[in-house]
Amino acid sequence: MHFPFTLRPWLLAAPMLGLVFTACQSGGKSGAAQTDLLQANLDTTVRPGDDFFTYANGAWLKAHPIPASESSWGIGKEVQNEVYARLRALNEEAAKANAKAGSSQQKIGDFWASGLDSVTIDKQGIAPLKPELDRIAAIKSVADVQAVIARHKVLGVNSLIGGYVGQDAKNSDKMAMHLYQAGLGLPNRDYYFNKDTRTSNIRKEYVRHVARMLQLLGQDSVTAQRHSAQIMQLETALAGSSRKLEALRDPYANYNKMPVAGLSKLTPGLDWKPWLAQMELGKVDTVIVGQPEFYQKAGQLLKSTPLEQWQAYLQWHLVHSFAGQLSHPVDNENFRFYGTILQGQKEQRPRWKRVLDEEEGGMGEILGQLFVKEYFTPETKERYAKLTQNVVAAFREHIQALDWMSDSTKQKALVKLTKIAPKVGYPDKWRDYSSLNITRDSYLGNVMRANEWQYRYNINKLGKPVDRTEWEMTPQTYNAYYNPSNNEIVLPAAIFSVPGLADKDADDAIIYGYAGASTIGHELTHGFDDEGSQFDEKGNLRNWWSKKDRAAFQQRVNSIVRQFNGYTVLDSLHINGKATAGENIADLGGIVIAFDAFKKTDQYKKGEKIGGLTPTQRYFLGYALGWQNHQRDEVLAQRILTDVHSPAQYRVNGPFADVPAFYEAFNVKPGQKLYLADSARVKIW
């Protein structure tokens, strides 16, 4: 789904897990412990006004190099590691329990045991894929190709169809069938066309990788190389009709509602009714197509591309999707390309962590129930619910004080803010996994059945009332999001964690910067960024702005786009200011809103220093702590092309350069690298 999630960039290549919850409000009596946390991270050889990110985090980053098994390392991975340890203990206990068949503990224990049984996995080889490979081998017509694609969709394979059931953007009380562009093996369309040396080399390696994977399926080298070239040709054609990253952020341009008959007209010669029926969506009468030109091209290719080429494409996407659950040769070759070449990892992450990742994706709320019972009390949930209320109150004051928005639009903005539903910690009700069958016989079989369960869970929402209590992230996720259709912010329990800092030692300044600004205020601002602001208080895509106010807002958006376009990140790679605009707006909004909320605390009012740092300095350092991260050049280059978030360094330095309180707190002067003249600073919310 296309939500403006606040995805922590260093977690994009791995499941977004989180940790035990240590952050809270406190009076500051444990000053030594607080000072140790922030001051131990400082690199005082760097002036705050030149590079605040490195000043705030430099010593920590030097002391914590990126492990060989990782593409990045930072606070999110530290949090993730602690959760991994806790989830591992829960899984090991479940595996030994001899639990009742069908119970949550049995499912967890058997999934874990099957995933760690590498001896059986290696002995089975590619045999678990044989039924699906036989389907592909039996293809004799375009209709057969469509039938296999439909089967792949149910299994969770990304071959051509990107369909899901979600809220109708223009009628948020209705669930609708959506079709989005899909079907590429490289991260996105730019990888097929960019001419720089780095991307050109990745394309060459990709063709070699696909050939090697096909050989592991049993093809001879000559056939595998021919098929690999054909797959690249087919995917390049699909990429040519795929939209760029920034174009996918326009909610109106990506909303094209039509009856199924209209969809068939879009792809002449292809009858979608039986195809949708094969995807268990036979009752669908209307679809929302995100990118009609993609499906138009897909329809043309289905008719014009030789069947052998489609068979090769489907074989490749099948083995690629399940490489991590197959024998070591397949798993290792998959890692060589997607881990080492694309992301710079030197070695595989431990198998047990990767099994937990799959379990998280397949039945994460089972783990979530156990997790919050152990590590997130109702009292802790209440604490962060109160912090959320305080940040909302500050945002209300910001809207009321705007000098560029008319009173009539302000009133509508305030109504929307009031209607934003905060979800803090964990769901009030949990998903029922009773129909999911998990055994110890086959790891791949478990993953496939979990994918099928998730698929059916999603499509069964069609025609039913919208469940606004549902969560799209598990409580143990170190992340958060704003959902425009529900007009809600979702704050999983783990996002409030500060590794190495106990509740009693976390002063308000840290918490308002770390949780209040980078998460709560950020997610609230997503409701009013360049994309979220196009949805009303009920979650419907509808213009509620006056023409003059919208123009004034867009002028400010254009300013932040220009600001971030100007940052060179790696070699000649620049941040894509338009693609990252929503996140950059939310970062800036979160900082200024949560700072005003922090100014109402006793700590700010007293103004006492802790460890030589003023409350305001600690606030900005607390925010920077949330983006404490460094990454390999390979993954940084990938994220510039694929991620709507700026790199961590610029999520600190970029917005801080626009905030007057930052200049005052750290005496930032003209001539320093972050200094911007008053007229050049962006102010939106």
CATH of the domain at 482: 3.40.390.10
Within-domain flag for 668? yes
The answer on 304 and 383 residing in a single domain is no
pLDDT band at 334 (very low <50, low <70, confident <90, very high): very high
Q: Does residue 119 belong to any structural domain of this protein?
A: no
How far is 57 from 652, CA to CA, in rounded Å?
A: 11
DSSP-assigned states of every residue in 111-131 = HHHHHH-HHHHHHHTTGGGHH
Tell me the three state secondary structure of residue 605: helix
Please give the structure tokens belonging to residue 523.
């997610």
Can you tell me the mean pLDDT for 117-134? Answer: 97
Q: Which of 325, 342, 368 is the last residue in one of the domains? A: 325
- Which range (33-37, 295-299, 450-454) has the least confidence? 33-37
Claim to verify: residue 359 and residue 320 sit in the same structural domain: no
Handedness of CA 275, 276, 277, 280 (dihedral sign): positive
Residues 6 or more apart whose CB falls under 8 angstroms from that of 257 comprise 168, 170, 176, 286, 287, 288, 289
Whether the pLDDT of residue 215 is over 70: the answer is yes
Do 571 and 529 share a structural domain? yes
CATH code of the domain in which 218 resides: 1.10.1380.10
Site of tokens 């932040």? 560
Structural domain count, the chain: 2
The amino acid that residue 634 corresponds to is: E
**332 within some domain:** no
Three-state DSSP at 171 gives strand
Phi, psi of 73 (to 5 degrees): -150, 145
> Given this model, what pLDDT does residue 466 score?
96
The answer on 537 and 598 residing in a single domain is yes
* Mean pLDDT for the chain overall: 93
* CA 616 to each of CA 438, 604, 606, 607: distance values in angstroms, whole numbers, following the listed order: 52, 7, 11, 8
Do 167 and 234 sit in the same domain of this protein? yes
Torsion from C-alpha of 269, 272, 273, 275, nearest 10 degrees: 110
415 & 300 share domain: no
Q: Which domain holds residue 156?
A: 126-325
Instruction: Say yes or no: 191 and 70 in one domain.
Output: no
- Write down the pTM of the prediction: 0.93
Q: pLDDT digits over 231-272, tens only?
A: 999 999 999 999 999 999 999 999 999 999 999 999 988 889
Average pLDDT for residues 392-403, to the nearest whole number? 98
- State what percent of residues in the chain have pLDDT above 70: 94
Model confidence at 18: pLDDT above 70: no
Beta strands in 290-414 (DSSP E): none
Chain segment 558-574, per-residue pLDDT in tens = 999 999 999 999 888 99
Query: What is the chain's alpha carbon radius of gyration, rounded to the nearest angstrom?
Result: 25
Buried b (16+ CB within 10 A) or exposed e, 585-617: bbbbbbbbbbbbbbbebebbeeeeebeebbbbb
Whole-angstrom Cα distance, residue 160 to residue 539?
Answer: 29
- Tell whether 98 is covered by a domain: no
Separation between Cα atoms, residue 42 and residue 173, nearest integer Å: 49
Residue 370 clears pLDDT 80, i.e. is over it: yes
pLDDT in tens, 514-555: 999 999 999 999 999 999 999 999 999 999 999 999 999 999
Q: What are phi and psi of 372, to 5 degrees?
A: -70, -30
Rounded Cα distance, 487 and 4, in Å: 12
Predicted confidence at residue 299, as pLDDT, reads 96
Going from the C-alpha of 604 to that of each of 38, 435, 594, the distances in angstroms are 17, 53, 12
pLDDT, tens digit, 9 for 90 and up, residues 169-187: 999 999 999 999 999 999 9
One-letter-per-residue 3-state SS of 270-313:
CCHHHHHHHCCCCCCCEEEECCHHHHHHHHHHHHHCCHHHHHHH
* Residue 116 belongs to a domain: no
Q: Which residues pair with 165 in a beta bridge?
A: 177
In the chain, the amino acid numbered 505 is D
443 found inside a domain? no
Residue carrying the six token digits 């977690």: 11
58/182 same-domain check = no
| Residues 142 and 58 occupy one common structural domain | no
> What is the pLDDT at residue 33?
39
Give me the pLDDT at residue 378, please: 81
pLDDT at 30: 36
| Residues 378 and 515 placed together within one structural domain of the fold | yes
Q: Is residue 508 part of a domain?
A: yes
Distance in angstroms (rounded) separating the CA atoms of residues 574 and 637: 10
Report the alpha-carbon distance of residue 514 to residue 496 in Å, rounded.
8
Q: Tokens for 532?
A: 């979220």
Measured over all CA atoms, what is the biggest interatomic distance in the chain, rounded to whole angstroms? Answer: 78
Confidence class of residue 36 from pLDDT cuts 50, 70 and 90? Answer: low
514/644 same-domain check:
yes
Beta strands in 284-438 (DSSP E): 286-289, 421-425
Give the residue from 304, 325, 346 where a domain finishes.
325
pLDDT one-digit tens code per residue, 495-511: 998 888 876 678 999 99
* 438-495 pLDDT, tens digit each: 999 999 999 999 999 999 999 999 989 999 999 999 999 999 999 999 999 999 999 9
Q: Where are the alpha helices (DSSP H) in 402-512?
A: 407-419, 443-459, 508-511
The CA–CA distances, whole Å, from 187 to 237, 337, 338 equal 15, 12, 10
Do 150 and 72 lie in one domain? The reply is no
**Separation between Cα atoms, residue 660 and residue 620, nearest integer Å:** 12
Pairwise CA distance, residues 480 & 478, whole Å: 7
In a domain, 64, yes or no: yes
Tokens of 68: 């060989």
